[in-house]
Amino acid sequence: MDIVEELLKGNRLALSRAITAIENEYDEAVDIMKRLYTHTGHAFVLGITGPPGAGKSTLTDKLAKAYRAQGKTVGIIAIDPTSPFTGGAILGDRIRMNSLTMDEGVFIRSMGTRGSLGGLSHKTADAIKAMDAFGKDIIFVETVGVGQSEVDIVKAADTTMVVLIPGMGDDIQAIKAGILEIGDVFTINKADHDGADKLVRELNMMLDLDAHGMQMEQTDTEKALADQFHHLNVAKHAVGNTWRPPIQKVIASQNEGITETVENIEKHFKYISETGILQKRRTERSKNEMLDVLHSNIGKYITGKLEETGKLDEYVEQIKRREIDPYTVVADVMHDMLKE
């Protein structure tokens, strides 16, 4: 079967096979993406991130049902930690979304991080495009968790929702690694637990500080990450027309606060559409995608050349014996390759 033709006709098996080819870097994966690319750019992409145990999968399940009630089709990419043995996803978030599996308007796919530190598989962007070309109206990308390396979600999503829960010890879990820059919408799940109101107050306080440009004491790493998030969230605080991320308390397991959360998401999408921020973000995304492919291909080409000539093992031995350093090796390799 022609995977691309069948995918564009709405064949779910073809979509599944296309994502498998993308994720495993099969020979036909690049050709699939080339043919699908002109059919992309229509879906709204919502990133959902937060610490482990925040109930992201349950919340995703409820949000998907809310959008289905509006008549919209939904794609869900659940990014799981990767098994060190098989390379596959090990948490299986689809188990928590069993009630959606019988809905033909919903397509769910778990993907492993495959060593990506940003919480997203490096093939996630291509999987999003495959679902987009398939015709999904909204695509949820649920990440592994949130931490100091959670950068990729900002690159992939139009709107990023940060899910937090009360009672995790360090209530200002939200401050770490520029998380205020990540979140377009904040959701406090398990709001029936003690400490929910306290967490809302602290988040509001930090958002107020952020809006006034006040700097918190940060490590050099946190400052660097905050700068990176600010660069990725292009014009988030546009002069004269600032978006203040809303904070919504929900109890996802009981379907409470879901309607209000959907309204917050849609308000943000309207805001970025009307202010031109959406186009700026998608332009930045296109640039990053092109550079990622370029860097990947250059790396593969150079590695292949070194292996063909036997120089790779030779360099490794020299580095191991401390006869030369890796930085000099890379400089020499780049010089030789560019000269060719």
- Chain segment 238-277, per-residue pLDDT in tens: 434 589 999 999 999 999 999 999 999 999 999 999 999 9
- CA-nearest of 139, 116, 119 to 51 is 119
pLDDT at 46 (0 to 100) = 97
Which pLDDT does position 203 carry in this prediction? 86
User: Residue 293: which H helix or E strand, with range?
Assistant: helix 277-309
Decide: helix, strand or coil at residue 77: strand
- Is the pLDDT confidence value at 143 over 50? yes
Counting residues of the chain whose pLDDT is more than 70, the rounded percentage is 76
Q: Which residue has the tokens 């379907």?
A: 255
Beta bridge partners of residue 138, listed in sequence order? 44, 74
Closest to 167 in 3D by CA, of 142, 192, 204: 192
pLDDT at 177: 45
pLDDT over 50 at 88, yes or no? no
Whether 127 shows a pLDDT value over 70: the answer reads yes
Given this model, what pLDDT does residue 212 score?
60
Mean pLDDT, to the nearest integer, of 281-297?
89
Model confidence at 68: pLDDT above 90: yes
The highest-confidence range among 68-82, 229-243, 301-315, by mean pLDDT, is 301-315
Give the model's confidence band at 169: pLDDT under 50 very low, under 70 low, under 90 confident, else very high: low
**45 band by pLDDT with thresholds 50, 70 and 90:** very high
pLDDT recorded at residue 50: 85
Structural tokens at position 172: 């200002």
One DSSP character per residue, 51-108 reads -TTS-HHHHHHHHHHHHHHTT--EEEEEEEPBPTTTSSBSS-GGGGGGGGTT-TTEEE
Give mean pLDDT, residues 92-118: 70
Higher pLDDT, 120 or 13: 13
CA-closest candidate to residue 76, choices 40, 102, 100: 100
Tell me what pLDDT residue 36 has: 97
**pLDDT by residue (tens digit) across 190-231?**
999 998 998 898 888 888 876 665 444 455 544 554 554 454
* Helix axes 311-320 and 326-339, enclosed angle (nearest 10): 160
124-134 vs 29-36: helix crossing angle, rounded to 10: 50
pLDDT band (50, 70, 90) for residue 176: low
Q: Which of 111-115, 129-133, 231-235 has the lowest mean pLDDT?
A: 231-235
Q: Where are the domains of the chain?
A: 40-275, 294-339
C-alpha distance from residue 73 to each of 45, 68, 107, 266 (Å): 12, 6, 9, 15
The class that CATH gives domain 40-275 is: alpha beta
pLDDT in tens, 317-336: 999 999 999 999 999 999 98
Per-chain mean pLDDT for the chain: 82
Residue 181 is predicted with a pLDDT of 75
- Residue-level pLDDT at 52: 81
Q: Which are the contacts of 134, defined by CB distance < 8 A and separation ≥ 6?
A: 7, 8, 10, 15, 75, 107
| pTM score, whole prediction | 0.82
- 146 or 264: which leads in pLDDT: 264
pLDDT given at position 48: 93
Reported as a pLDDT band with limits 50, 70 and 90, residue 174 is very low
* Least confident range of 148-157, 250-259, 282-291, 306-315: 148-157
Amino acid of residue 112: G
